[in-house]
Amino acid sequence: MLASTASRWLHTARLGIGEHYRIIQSNPLSRIGFRLIVVFLVIAAFAPWIAPHDPWEMVYDKDGQFASLRPPSWEFPLGTTHLGYDLFSQLVLAARTTLVIGAVSGIISILIGANIGLIAGYYGGKVDEVLMRLTDILYGMPFLPFIIVLIALFGRKLEFVILAIVLIIWRTSARVIRAQTISIKQRQFILAAKARGASDLRIIYRHILPNVLPLLLLYAAFNIAWSIITEASASFLGFGDGETISWGGMLYELWLSGKTRVAWWWFAAPSICIVLLVTSLVFVSRAYEEVANPRLRKR
Amino acid sequence: MALIELNQLTRHFEIRPGLVDRTVRGKPSRLIKAVESLNIAVGENEILGIAGESGCGKSTTCMMIAGLLPPTRGQIIYRGSDLATADAAVRKEHRRNVQMIFQDPYESLNPRFRVADIVAEGPRALRLWDQKEIGDRVESMLAGVGLNPGKYTERFPHELSGGERQRVGIASALVMQPVMIIADEPLSMLDVSIRAGILDLFRELQDQRGFSSVYVSHDLAILGNVADRLMVMYLGQAMEVGPVEQVIRSPKHPYTRALIGAVAVPDPRVKRPVPKISGDISRPIDPPPGCRFAPRCPYADDSCHDTFLELDTSDPTRHQAACHRLHVLPDEGL
Ligand SMILES: Nc1ncnc2c1ncn2[C@@H]1O[C@H](COP(=O)(O)OP(=O)(O)O)[C@@H](O)[C@H]1O
Ligand SMILES: [Mg+2]
């Protein structure tokens, strides 16, 4: 039974890919966004092979000179830092951390948000009351003091950065998916499913979930974008993981070096990457928004 | 033993005014008495028609019989056991055996399910058979409702016409092999041109499979065609019940007479005195006791306003009307 349920899910998921492809291709911006995301993914996946240097290796130019604060050149395409680190290598390796943090916290937060939203919306009553008070409490919690406390207690660790991001981000998706669930559960096909004998869990995950899927993917993209921004600000403020390098962390190093006014290239590369990746995610999510919210559809 | 027996079945809906109205203006909450003290039994292989204007509680009755809405009062007795107190096994049997066909084929199919999955949903949810057998039965069921399985299984509801959708709805109920089908105005949302086809299908399937049915319609011509017995409802109360030809050809209750008179006079040579109905049909919000038709009934007297005469369902073949004043009504031509 379990196996057959799983295989049906796979079947549905596989059939869904064509649909997702169509959604993404449906508009030029999301097409560009999707390609950029793929490029970033490839860079992240092959980062160690792409990066010519170790991120914390002091580099020398071909004349044997210590390469400190060099602007972009053929030799150092994105320039170097004041300590002679190659920014191109840093950027490529940082893509990996940034994408992993974005994807992991984005996906965990949407999983939590979606389940809480579905359950609160479907059951209503006391269950809804408790879950929504919980989200209200989290809404009142500002991010920075929260992450400061976490870092103070547990140290600068990637896991806690992700934990802090997830705890802050899931709440919005929970609310939106709850609202959508409430509207879908009143539709007659849900009553029909009940009449055929479907249990509550079956109705939630087999009948309602596919109908909130476009909205869910929209918020998955939002959540990933927000995670990346949040991680960048946390790193910039010095709350990132000290062991790994991320785009936000690169900007933090720039800030610490005091060279902000001179080393424009050091500022440019990570900022442009953050903006490009977040914009790409927003573009792709826009395509899903049109599916989730038919009123936006032009047809 | 009757398959389904309704005993004093009643459903009220509370409408609570908004918070401000309730607390500041002190408005009380009001009751919509959608269904009031219904007594009726449906036997195996019998089709009970329910007629009545919109808002008279037909859908509410259907939902209660299908176990989708708990009654406020009264009992639904399925093969001798009261559903409210029955054990899980009986309730599960009822859930499978009493299936519903919905009114709106555009709303009652999950837009994200393919036809095959819609039809297979009930058997899968209740684990009636293994996957292979479910697949086989779904295919033959689709063929049985006139949809070529090869062509339709992979389609989504939006790729179907209204008639095709309603066929899918019928297939998804019948694949469970129910003993009773509750059909809540299954034709009313369809094009007039395809109604006959679906109705023929329903009757053909009923002949083959011998399920019993509660068939709801506001169209007396259709009910005369499919039903064995007819119950006429007005604002939540049963006004008249009896074998279908008798109710249609010689209605007793003033409301039924008005209803049938308003639809058509089957034989123009027959002069049937039809009471003129005055007043508006309203919703049964906080209704007074007594017959709900009384305010509009030309023959009503004090007794009608005070008490409602409930039907006696002990004899299912009897033709009877819930009216105190039958003796003062003019004779009907027969
Ligand atoms: N969920 C509900 N909440 C409040 N009132 C309802 C609800 N369902 C039905 N009603 C009311 O009950 C009455 C009977 O409705 P219904 O059974 O749908 O009638 P019919 O199917 O005969 O048109 C109507 O006045 C309707 O407004
Ligand atoms: Mg109705």
ipTM for the whole complex:
0.85
A123 within some domain: no
Is A200 part of any domain?
A: no
Q: C-alpha distances in angstroms, B96 versus A193, B33, B128? A: 12, 29, 9
Rounded to whole angstroms, the Cα distance separating A101 from B15 reads 50
- Provide, as residue numbers in chain B, all residues whose Cβ is less than 8 Å from the Cβ of A202: 125
- Record: contact A195-B125, CB cut-off 8 A: no
pLDDT band, very low/low/confident/very high, at A294 (cuts 50, 70, 90): low
For a substitution probing ligand 1, which of B12, B15, B32, B214 has the most ligand atoms within 8 Å of its CB? B32
Higher pLDDT, B49 or A154: B49
In a domain, A129, yes or no: no
CB contact under 8 A, A188 and B111: no
> Biggest alpha carbon distance in chain B?
65
d(CA A48, CA A52): 8
B positions 60-99 inside 8 Å of A (CB)? 66, 68, 92, 95-96, 99
Burial class of residue B167 (count of CB atoms within 10 Å of its CB; 0-12, 13-18, 19+): buried
Asked whether the predicted pLDDT for residue B334 surpasses 60, the reply is no
- pLDDT at position A50 is 85
Q: Are B60 and B52 in contact (CB under 8 A)?
A: no
Q: Contact at 8 Å (CB) between A106 and A223?
A: yes
Residue with the larger pLDDT of the pair B109 and A260:
B109
CA A266 to chain centre: 24
Distance from CA of B32 to the nearest CA of A (A): 20
Question: How much is the pLDDT for B283?
Answer: 73
Q: How many residues are present in chain B?
A: 334
When pLDDT is averaged across residues B191-210 and rounded to a whole number, the result is 88
Looking at residue A38, its pLDDT comes to: 93
Lining ligand 1 with CB less than 6 A are B 13, 32, 34, 52, 54-60, 283
**Which pair of structure tokens corresponds to residue A258?**
């005091």
Nearest chain A residue to B129 by CA: give it.
A1
Under 8 Å between Cβ of A127 and A114:
no
Cβ-based interface (< 8 Å): residues of A facing B = 1, 4, 187-189, 191-199, 202, 207, 210-211, 213
The residue of chain A with its CA nearest to that of B104 is: A188
Enclosing H/E stretch for B85 = none
- A19 in a structural domain: yes
Residue A88 is assigned to a structural domain of this protein? yes
How far is it, in rounded angstroms, from Cα B256 to Cα B241?
10
Asked if the structure places residue A194 within a domain, the reply is no
For residue range A231-259, list pLDDT tens digits in order.
888 888 877 777 788 888 888 888 888 88
Is residue A102 situated within a structural domain? yes
Phi/psi zone of residue A155: left (φ > 0), alpha (ψ -120 to 50 degrees), beta?
left
Mutation test of the interface with chain A: which of B101, B124, B175, choosing the one with the most A Cβ atoms within 10 A?
A: B124
Using CB atoms, which residue from A4, A197, A207 is nearest to B95?
A197
Which of A18-22, B111-115, B136-140, B207-211 ranks highest by mean pLDDT?
Answer: B136-140
Q: Name the more confident of B267 and A113.
A: A113
Range of the domain at A6: 2-118+139-176+211-296
Instruction: Give B34 Cα–ligand 1 centroid separation in angstroms.
Output: 6
Question: Of chain B residues 145-174, which have a CB less than 8 A from chain A?
Answer: 169, 172-173
- Indicate the pLDDT class of residue A13, thresholds 50, 70 and 90: low
pLDDT at residue A1 greater than cutoff 70: no
pLDDT band at A295 (very low <50, low <70, confident <90, very high): low
CA-to-CA distance for B260 and B226, rounded, in angstroms? 17
Please list, in sequence order, all residues whose beta carbon lies within 8 angstroms of the beta carbon of residue B96, skipping any fewer than 6 positions away. Answer: A197, B122, B126, B128, B176, B178
What DSSP element (H or E) covers B183? strand B180-184
Average pLDDT of every residue of chain A: 84
- Smallest Cβ–Cβ distance between B121 and the set A4, A193, A211 belongs to A193
Q: Where are the alpha helices (DSSP H) in B114-242?
A: 115-125, 131-144, 149-152, 162-174, 192-209, 220-226
Distance of CA B54 from the midpoint of ligand 2 (Å): 6
> In chain A, what percentage of residues exceed pLDDT 90?
28
The Cα-based distances of B228 to A115, A203, B57, B215, B322 in angstroms read: 49, 36, 21, 10, 20
Element housing B147 (H / E): none
- B122 contacts A197? CB cut-off 8 A: yes
Would A245 be classed as within a structural domain? yes
**Contact between chains at B102 and A188 (C-beta distance less than 8 A):** yes
Cβ–Cβ gap A191/B110 under 8 Å: no
Q: What residues of A are in contact with residue B107 (Cβ under 8 Å)?
A: 187-189
- pLDDT value of residue A246: 86
For B33-81, write each residue's pLDDT tens digit: 999 999 999 998 899 999 988 889 999 999 999 999 999 999 999 999 9
Residue of A189, A199, A200, A208 to mutate, testing the B interface (most B Cβ within 10 Å of its Cβ): A189
The domain total for chain A is: 1
Task: State yes or no: pLDDT of A298 exceeds 50.
Answer: no
Cα B25–B26–B30 angle (5° rounding)? 120
For residue B34, the Cα-to-chain-centroid distance in whole angstroms is: 13
Tokens 């399920």 map to which residue? B211
Write the residue with the smallest CA distance to atom 21 of ligand 1.
Answer: B59
Ligand 1 atom closest to Cα of residue B184: 21
Q: For A256-269, write each residue's pLDDT tens digit.
A: 888 878 888 888 88
SS3 category, B101:
strand
The pLDDT score that the predictor gives to residue A215 is 86
Other C-beta atoms lying within 10 Å of the C-beta of residue B61: 29
Number of A to B CB contacts under 8 A, please give it: 59
Chain segment A108-127, per-residue pLDDT in tens:
999 999 999 999 999 998 99
Please, what is the average pLDDT of chain B? 86
